[in-house]
Amino acid sequence: MSSGSVLPERIARLDELAHNLWWSWNPQARTLFRALDYPLWRLGGHNPVRQLREINAEKLAAAASDPDFLSLYDSVVSAFDARMSDRNSWFATHHPGSLQGPVAYFSMEFAIHNSLPIYAGGLGVLAGDQCKAACDLGLPFVGVGFMYPQGYFRQQISAEGWQEEVYTELDFDQAPIKPVNPVHRSIWCGPLIQLELGDRSVHVGVWQGQLGKITLNLMCCDLEENMPDDRQLCARLYTADQEQRLQQEIVLGIGGVRALRALGIEPAVWHANEGHSAFMVLERAREEVENGATFDEALSKVRANTVFTTHTPVPAGHDVFPIWLMEKYFYRYWESLGISREAFLELGQQHGPEDEDFNMTVLALKTADHRNAVSRLHGKVTRKMWHGLWPETGEYDVPISHITNGVHVPTWVAREMVGLYEKHLGDEMSQRFDEADLREEVLKIPNEELWTARSVLKRKLIGAMTERARQCSVQRECTASQVLAMGALLDPNALTIGFVRRFAAYKRPGLIFHDVERLRKIVTDTWRPVQIVFAGKSHPADHPSKQLLHDVYDLAAHGGFQGRLAFVEDYDMHIAHYLTQGVDVWLNTPRRLKEASGTSGMKAAVNGILNLSVRDGWWHEGYSGTNGWAIGDSVDTYDPEDEDRADAESLYRLLEEEIVPLYYRRDRAGVPHEWLQMVKESIGSIVPIFCARRMVKEYVERMYLPAGRQRS
Ligand SMILES: *Cc1c(COP(=O)(O)O)cnc(C)c1O
């Protein structure tokens, strides 16, 4: 430990456990840290590194002599050691010796735990879940990303209903990471590598986080050796400044390769999660050219073991840089690749005319032999979208496949649900969520117990929301309508719908308000009330989406919905846990073909929440007819206004005629058996398929092993 009390010898490995994020998805390890000092645990945001720094010596001494604590400690340590040895893992038993090195996974963001705030949303959560499942399966894997001192941002809503962005500096001393080249009494990071950004040179340091045996290498430019502007280069995620974004992507792609080399890591497979990191292919090609290869030889070598996953079906969602900016940063680089300016620019152009911008997705598609989209439908949309890159093939044969996203069940499942699953399906549940017979087995869970668990989870959510409303009223002197909008009047017995997602126009947060009077009638029904909880951030530069957020908030605060609409501020992983466990229905209304996959509805399903969604993204393949509800039909040739009208009508009709009646149809003890039947159908049909274990196994067998074999 860098400071804090000295750990008693008997429990000395707590520090090692605290610095390995494996604890965050191991229920026993969580219990262990919680048991040390529960109030401190809560105050410190469930961060064991911080807890060990702040806990007093008496508490530690007491733990070290408490037999119950020690037996839990020993059990956690032995589970941890078993994970670290990995001899019986899925990968070791199914594919022994089949990869000559790790899979290097490059991602702009990673969402592992709130104590490491280096993510914005879905892409980061997917990356985090992928790393965790890779760890569970024993796959050799390293992550490459950024350590942003300010992360994304924290969201507050003003009394007038506008999003305010609050940036806070991370206290590195309390983060579960360690610097590779420590300076200043081992708490700060020194330079590891250097790279050229246009005419100047920047130093990059690396922080490392651990997930079991997996290391996340997080690059950082905030070093004394750098000029002030460069120190700020990687301060925040997704800055709106295009030039800064290009610089970040150079650091991620080119710097990431150099950092792995400097660390002596020799990957067998290189995986670009989204186009942000596509420059990594160029850097590896440059190395080959430096060793005497021609550019064509170099490229064919590196593309063979490169995997690219695209996540965006919306053209505007792809990173595109103007030619002048590319020239400014790459005019020397294309020389070092041994190619002309035109040949270089063409790598990022679909058609190749002089003035076409440089597209990172095009670069990745052209330079990776293994390409995939993230749901079946998204695969289809993606093949159509990029058909121009393979003009001589038919649309069906465009070489982009799909691997549907999945969620890391141990991260997202509620303690109460684990209890039920283990009791009725067996202790080893967490190792076999991806087995198909789950469907039969779930039926064994008695409705009464399932209903109790569901009710507890809803109470917890509403308790957390009212607590926040109370804090807001005390600390920020919120107005009465703000307190109302924060959910102070929510009722734990009412049917609760969650609309929880990034605010973006294509997700249509306003769809449910298409006919405000009709909605008000549904919501404020005396005998069968409905409430709706909203949460989500707008990108700081996305003004139309901020307006949407404002409008929703305004209706919650002043719309005459009797406190049955609420908005939870600052949607992050922590709040996501409460929401994906605590509501009854998960609402998703994207405009068709705009949602690549979506994963939050999968988390909800794990916890017995029913999906109510447009058949887009994962729900296009997830909906079975009996495991939730589909809004509208799957026609994709709507005019936007017709689409809104038809979907709103379908949504109201489903609520009025199916969802509300089903939820309130109870036996004498108040248990809604038919509802719970559907819940079981949903768990059994969704969890085995839309979990990260299935996803990562598919990546291994369909992408990583073929790519790894290509290595010469
Ligand atoms: C799961 C998750 C997401 C992704 O959800 P979508 O279904 O893509 O909307 C985004 N943000 C957080 C914090 C999450 O936990």
Condensed to tens digits (0 to 9), the pLDDT of residues 195-242 reads 999 999 999 999 999 999 999 999 999 999 999 999 999 989 988 899
Are residues 434 and 580 both part of a single domain? yes
Calculate the average pLDDT of the chain.
Answer: 94
The whole-angstrom separation of Cα 410 and Cα 412 is 6
Residue 371: what residue type? Answer: R
Residues with CB under 6 A from ligand 1: 121-122, 125, 501, 571-573, 576, 598-600, 603
Are residues 62 and 185 both part of a single domain? no
Are residues 365 and 414 both part of a single domain? no
- CA-597 nearest atom, ligand 1: 8
Angle between helices 573-582 and 447-475 (to 10 degrees): 140
Confidence of residue 472 (pLDDT cuts 50, 70, 90): confident
Are residues 56 and 182 both part of a single domain? no
The 3-state DSSP composition of the chain as helix, strand, coil percent (nearest 5) reads 50, 15, 35
Are residues 656 and 530 both part of a single domain? yes
Would you tell me how many other CB atoms lie within 10 Å of the CB of residue 300?
A: 15
User: For residue range 94-118, what is the model confidence (pLDDT) as tens digits?
Assistant: 999 999 999 999 999 999 999 999 9
Are residues 429 and 558 both part of a single domain? yes
DSSP-derived secondary structure for 303-334 = HHTEEEE----SGGGS-EE-HHHHHHHHTTHH
Go through the chain and tell me how many residues it has: 712
Secondary structure of 479-509 in HEC code, one letter for each residue: CHHHHHHCCCCCCCCCEEEEEECCCCHHHCC
Residue 412: what residue type? Answer: W
Alpha helical stretches, state H, 386-446: 409-412, 415-425, 438-442
The whole-angstrom separation of Cα 438 and Cα 228 is 55
Q: What is the pLDDT of residue 186?
A: 58
Q: Please give the average per-residue pLDDT across 457-470, as a whole number.
A: 96
As a dihedral over the C-alpha atoms of residue 27, residue 33, residue 35, residue 37, rounded to 10 degrees, the angle is -150
CA of 122 to the centre of ligand 1 (A): 4
CA of 543 to the centre of ligand 1 (A): 21
What does the block give as tokens for 501?
A: 């997602």
With tokens 């990071």, the residue in question is 189
DSSP state of 37: -
CA of 53 to the centre of ligand 1 (A): 31
Closest CA to 362 of 370, 376, 351: 351
CA of 586 to the centre of ligand 1 (A): 12
Percentage of the chain lying above the pLDDT 90 cut = 87
Is 268 within the bounds of a domain? yes
Closest CA to 605 of 384, 381, 454, 452: 454
CA of 536 to the centre of ligand 1 (A): 9
**Does the pLDDT of residue 386 top 70, yes or no?**
yes
User: For residue range 434-450, what is the model confidence (pLDDT) as tens digits?
Assistant: 887 888 899 999 999 99
User: For residue range 581-629, what is the model confidence (pLDDT) as tens digits?
Assistant: 999 999 999 999 999 999 999 999 999 999 999 999 999 999 999 999 9
Are residues 421 and 395 both part of a single domain? no
List, in sequence order, every residue forming a beta bridge with 146; answer none if it has no partner.
219
Q: Please give the average per-residue pLDDT across 29-54, as a whole number.
A: 94
Domain end position, chosen among 84, 109, 125: 84
Out of 145-149, 187-191, 511-515, pick the least confident: 187-191
Write 427-435 long-range contacts (CB < 8 A, 24+).
431/136, 433/409, 433/687, 433/688, 433/691, 433/693, 434/688, 434/689, 434/691, 434/693, 434/694, 434/697, 435/688
As a dihedral over the C-alpha atoms of residue 696, residue 698, residue 700, residue 702, rounded to 10 degrees, the angle is -150
DSSP helix/strand/coil, 583: coil
User: For residue range 658-677, what is the model confidence (pLDDT) as tens digits?
Assistant: 999 999 999 999 999 999 99
User: For residue range 163-202, what is the model confidence (pLDDT) as tens digits?
Assistant: 999 998 888 889 999 999 888 765 688 999 999 999 999 9
- CA-502 nearest atom, ligand 1: 9
**Does the pLDDT of residue 284 top 80, yes or no?**
yes
Question: For the chain, how many structural domains are there in total?
Answer: 3
CA of 384 to the centre of ligand 1 (A): 26
CA of 125 to the centre of ligand 1 (A): 7
Are residues 75 and 117 both part of a single domain? no
- Structural domain span for residue 219: 96-403+697-707
Nearest CA to ligand 1 atom 1: 600
What does the block give as tokens for 632?
A: 């509208």
Nearest CA to ligand 1 atom 4: 122
From 586, 600, 609, 691, the mutation candidate for ligand 1 (largest count of ligand atoms within 8 A of CB) is 600
CA of 685 to the centre of ligand 1 (A): 21
Rounded to two decimals, the pTM is 0.97
What does the block give as tokens for 523?
A: 């919501």
Is 79 within the bounds of a domain? yes
Is 225 within the bounds of a domain? yes
Would you tell me how many other CB atoms lie within 10 Å of the CB of residue 332?
A: 10
CA of 670 to the centre of ligand 1 (A): 32
CA of 500 to the centre of ligand 1 (A): 8
CA of 501 to the centre of ligand 1 (A): 6
Nearest CA to ligand 1 atom 3: 122
Residue 647 maps to which CATH number? 3.40.50.2000
Would you tell me how many other CB atoms lie within 10 Å of the CB of residue 12?
A: 12
Q: Where are the beta strands (DSSP E) in 632-679?
A: none
Domain end position, chosen among 59, 84, 109: 84
**Does the pLDDT of residue 354 top 80, yes or no?**
no
Checking DSSP bridges between strand 358-359 and strand 320-321, what pairing results, if any? antiparallel
Q: What is the pLDDT of residue 87?
A: 84
Are residues 213 and 344 both part of a single domain? yes
CA of 550 to the centre of ligand 1 (A): 20
609: phi > 0 → left, psi -120 to 50 → alpha, else beta; which? Answer: beta
477: phi > 0 → left, psi -120 to 50 → alpha, else beta; which? Answer: left
- CA-600 nearest atom, ligand 1: 7
Q: What is the pLDDT of residue 4?
A: 65
Q: What φ, ψ does residue 567 adopt, rounded to 5°? A: -125, 120
DSSP-derived secondary structure for 39-56 = HHHHHTTS-HHHHHHHS-
From 599, 603, 612, the mutation candidate for ligand 1 (largest count of ligand atoms within 8 A of CB) is 599
Are residues 111 and 132 both part of a single domain? yes
Is 479 within the bounds of a domain? no
Is 194 within the bounds of a domain? yes
The whole-angstrom separation of Cα 91 and Cα 81 is 17
Alpha helical stretches, state H, 526-598: 543-558, 573-582
List, in sequence order, every residue forming a beta bridge with 585; answer none if it has no partner.
497, 610
**Contact (Cβ atoms closer than 8 angstroms) between residue 292 and residue 317:** no
The whole-angstrom separation of Cα 660 and Cα 664 is 6
CA of 288 to the centre of ligand 1 (A): 39
Is 442 within the bounds of a domain? yes
Nearest CA to ligand 1 atom 9: 501
Nearest CA to ligand 1 atom 5: 600
**Contact (Cβ atoms closer than 8 angstroms) between residue 9 and residue 65:** no
Is 470 within the bounds of a domain? no
CA of 600 to the centre of ligand 1 (A): 5
Is 643 within the bounds of a domain? yes
- CA-571 nearest atom, ligand 1: 13
Are residues 383 and 516 both part of a single domain? no
From 25, 109, 125, the mutation candidate for ligand 1 (largest count of ligand atoms within 8 A of CB) is 125
- CA-573 nearest atom, ligand 1: 13
Confidence of residue 712 (pLDDT cuts 50, 70, 90): very low
Q: What is the pLDDT of residue 1?
A: 41
- CA-120 nearest atom, ligand 1: 11
Nearest CA to ligand 1 atom 8: 598
Q: What is the pLDDT of residue 2?
A: 43
DSSP helix/strand/coil, 366: helix
What does the block give as tokens for 686?
A: 């969704």
The whole-angstrom separation of Cα 532 and Cα 589 is 14
DSSP state of 239: -
- CA-412 nearest atom, ligand 1: 15
From 501, 506, 609, the mutation candidate for ligand 1 (largest count of ligand atoms within 8 A of CB) is 501
CA of 263 to the centre of ligand 1 (A): 32
- CA-501 nearest atom, ligand 1: 9
Nearest CA to ligand 1 atom 12: 121
Q: What is the pLDDT of residue 353?
A: 67
Out of 257-261, 272-276, 426-430, pick the least confident: 426-430
Are residues 67 and 112 both part of a single domain? no
The whole-angstrom separation of Cα 593 and Cα 382 is 10
Q: Please give the average per-residue pLDDT across 62-67, as a whole number.
A: 96
Residue 11: what residue type? Answer: I
From 118, 119, 502, the mutation candidate for ligand 1 (largest count of ligand atoms within 8 A of CB) is 502
Confidence of residue 3 (pLDDT cuts 50, 70, 90): low
CA of 606 to the centre of ligand 1 (A): 14
